[in-house]
Amino acid sequence: MNRVTVDLYQSVTDPEKFLALPTGTDPTVLTAPMLFDPDFGEVKRYRQAFEFDPEQAYAGVDAAKIAADILTVKWSMYGRSTSSAAMD
């Protein structure tokens, strides 16, 4: 699978929850993530234009699932524990 470039957003109400969107996507126009989890009702940008390799291991993150979600539904929710870093 090819590298994927996304913008990463962090939930304001739960800083352990993140949303990955195709770069340039406005998170305020998406309603689906907050229907699944109200913690995504308000997000702040965490990283812009982050390029990741779905075949590489990232601490606490399933990069292959995120890439698959981006390709199919155009967004991906994921979380991390306080001891791991999200795509750092």
pLDDT by 10s per residue, the chain, length 88: 688 999 999 999 999 999 999 999 999 999 899 899 999 999 999 999 999 899 988 888 888 999 999 999 999 999 875 444 455 5
Helix, strand or coil for residue 68? helix
Q: What pTM was computed for the model?
A: 0.85
Write down all domains in the chain, each with its CATH number in brackets.
Answer: 4-79 (3.10.510)
pLDDT at 58: 84
Question: What is the rounded distance in angstroms from the CA atom of residue 17 to the CA atom of residue 55?
Answer: 22
Task: Please give the single-letter amino acid code of residue 43.
Answer: V
Tokens 């979380």 correspond to what residue?
A: 79
pLDDT at 57: 83
Structural element, H or E, at residue 34:
helix 32-36
